[in-house]
A and B are shown apart, each in its own frame.
Chain A
């Protein structure tokens, strides 16, 4: 009998980074909105078509107050794509999703400021790496789309690490590790003991079930080769 092997459909998921504006309302919010109106009159259309995040770190608002504020901003042509600094546990589906792990970008020059002729001083490059000295507990999620993540402890079952670059785990990896989330096929995963539930690089993944049993409980290196994950023992 001759049956052609069904090619396995693979699902890819990737991270993308965009620079968004973070608007930070200050209490009292009504006054802040008036101030915003004054400002937008001098710079009409400044926010048009730009991704805007609402940073609620300095105000304490209920879900309905947030929804109201989002509507107020929409009336002014500012569409809010996400919230920052709010507790996702207290919010329902009526308001935009809460985002975490934001990193401040270069301060956007507001158009009404006089442009200075002098060039801005060269910006210090932030090291694109995150170091975590504690164990990652079950249910915790570390998302760092800007570079490498190094964990000195273990990553528990039910925890996950998502990194734009490579992932290094000096303890036992029992949870999920997803490297190269921003589309980096050269990212790798290293751990000193592999008990992983799921490994992924650049959207290609491998579950514990499909992993070679002889590679468990050992230090391993994971890389992406020919559209498949290659897990190699390090000992």
Chain B
């Protein structure tokens, strides 16, 4: 039974696309068939993070409008063969998405894959509402800071009212993924604590991804972090989160990168 998962946040720049790629790749690495769908029409990025930008011919809009077949638009990952990408269009805007068209594409993807992961654009407008419209589950990506948490709270409210499941009186399963977590800064009180975030959002935690330069490096290389550097702290955190998504009981820890002796001596690195 396929599961449609939306990765959303409200606020931009918190790590939706990075998390979509990393969770999608981690699920695919565990043998599941996965498609990651970019809903950020007009500002597509997922193809870059997945390293598939030179292979895009047809896109989500073409399929929604019936110009291309789904099989023509899907791009298979070169590293993990059960991982696929449905890219967004860069030349169109979000008004080109129709609810009927998106419903048809999602229904078709449900038949082909174990996981359909929709990368939502920032904001609460058409692109974001259509990305979550047919979701069974949601990952709300949150940074431990007040504006991100408030926007996430707003998204949870929309997930509970504007999705197809909510309108049928069913629940959308919701998970909080805290990204860019810096244990040292949290200890100094410069960030909201995990407890504060969860208390405000009153939604279960899927994982805590530590702030890491490895994530940026992987994105620039065009590779999900779980593929680029599977032993890094962030990759291990994403892999644990993916296992929790599959329903496994994995104890919650905050992985950290091993530090050299000098780092330990001088404590935290400069921010």
Verify that A and B bind, or say they do not.
yes
Q: Does A96 contact B (CB under 8 A)?
A: no
Instruction: Tell whether, in the assembled complex, residue A154 and residue B200 are in contact, meaning their CB atoms are under 8 Å apart.
Output: yes
Interface SS of chain B:
helix
Q: Does B99 contact A (CB under 8 A)?
A: no
The residue from A134, A137, A172 contacting B154, defined by CB atoms under 8 A apart: A137
Interface bits B131-166 vs A (CB < 8 Å: 1, else 0): 000000000000000100011011011101000000
Question: Which 6 interchain pairs have the tightest Cβ spacing?
Answer: A137-B157, A138-B153, A138-B154, A139-B154, A156-B153, A137-B153
Nearest CB to that of B147 among chain A residues? A157
Inter-chain CA distance A171–B156, complex, in Å, is 17
Question: A76 CB to closest chain B CB, in angstroms?
Answer: 34
Q: Does A102 contact B (CB under 8 A)?
A: no
Instruction: Tell whether, in the assembled complex, residue B202 and residue A153 are in contact, meaning their CB atoms are under 8 Å apart.
Output: yes
Interface bits A112-156 vs B (CB < 8 Å: 1, else 0): 000000000000000000000011011110000000000001101
Question: A147 CB to closest chain B CB, in angstroms?
Answer: 23
Nearest CB to that of B126 among chain A residues? A89
B199 contact set on A, CB distance < 8 A: 154, 172
Interface size class on chain B is 10 to 19
Interface residues of B in 154-201 (CB under 8 A from A): 154, 156-158, 160, 199-200
Instruction: Tell whether, in the assembled complex, residue B150 and residue A157 are in contact, meaning their CB atoms are under 8 Å apart.
Output: yes
With A156-B150, A157-B150 given, is the CB distance from A139 to B200 under 8 Å? no
Question: B234 CB to closest chain A CB, in angstroms?
Answer: 28
Known contacts A138-B151, A140-B157; 5 additional CB pairs below 8 A are A137-B160, A138-B150, A138-B154, A138-B157, A154-B202
Instruction: Supply 9 A–B pairs (Cβ within 8 Å), ascending by A.
Output: A137-B156, A138-B151, A138-B154, A140-B157, A154-B199, A154-B200, A157-B150, A158-B153, A159-B157
Indicate the member of A134, A137, A156, A174 with the most B CB atoms within 10 Å.
Answer: A137
Inter-chain CA distance A171–B201, complex, in Å, is 12
Inter-chain CA distance A22–B219, complex, in Å, is 56
Instruction: Tell whether, in the assembled complex, residue B200 and residue A174 are in contact, meaning their CB atoms are under 8 Å apart.
Output: yes
Inter-chain CA distance A140–B160, complex, in Å, is 11
Indicate the member of A156, A157, A171, A172 with the most B CB atoms within 10 Å.
Answer: A156
Indicate the member of A134, A135, A153, A159 with the most B CB atoms within 10 Å.
Answer: A135
Nearest CB to that of B152 among chain A residues? A138
Question: A230 CB to closest chain B CB, in angstroms?
Answer: 28
Instruction: Tell whether, in the assembled complex, residue B154 and residue A158 are in contact, meaning their CB atoms are under 8 Å apart.
Output: yes
Inter-chain CA distance A156–B241, complex, in Å, is 26
Instruction: Tell whether, in the assembled complex, residue B160 and residue A156 are in contact, meaning their CB atoms are under 8 Å apart.
Output: no
Inter-chain CA distance A99–B202, complex, in Å, is 30
Indicate the member of B156, B158, B200 with the most A CB atoms within 10 Å.
Answer: B200
Instruction: Tell whether, in the assembled complex, residue A135 and residue B202 are in contact, meaning their CB atoms are under 8 Å apart.
Output: yes
Question: A218 CB to closest chain B CB, in angstroms?
Answer: 16
Instruction: Tell whether, in the assembled complex, residue A157 and residue B153 are in contact, meaning their CB atoms are under 8 Å apart.
Output: yes
Inter-chain CA distance A138–B156, complex, in Å, is 9
Inter-chain CA distance A174–B146, complex, in Å, is 12
Nearest CB to that of A156 among chain B residues? B153
B151 contact set on A, CB distance < 8 A: 138
Question: B169 CB to closest chain A CB, in angstroms?
Answer: 14
A140 contact set on B, CB distance < 8 A: 157
Instruction: Tell whether, in the assembled complex, residue B202 and residue A139 are in contact, meaning their CB atoms are under 8 Å apart.
Output: no
A158 contact set on B, CB distance < 8 A: 150, 153-154
A156 contact set on B, CB distance < 8 A: 150, 153, 200
B156 contact set on A, CB distance < 8 A: 137
Inter-chain CA distance A171–B157, complex, in Å, is 17
Inter-chain CA distance A159–B202, complex, in Å, is 15
Nearest CB to that of A195 among chain B residues? B200
A174 contact set on B, CB distance < 8 A: 200
Inter-chain CA distance A36–B146, complex, in Å, is 54
Inter-chain CA distance A130–B243, complex, in Å, is 40
Interface bits A145-185 vs B (CB < 8 Å: 1, else 0): 00000000110111100000000000110100000000000
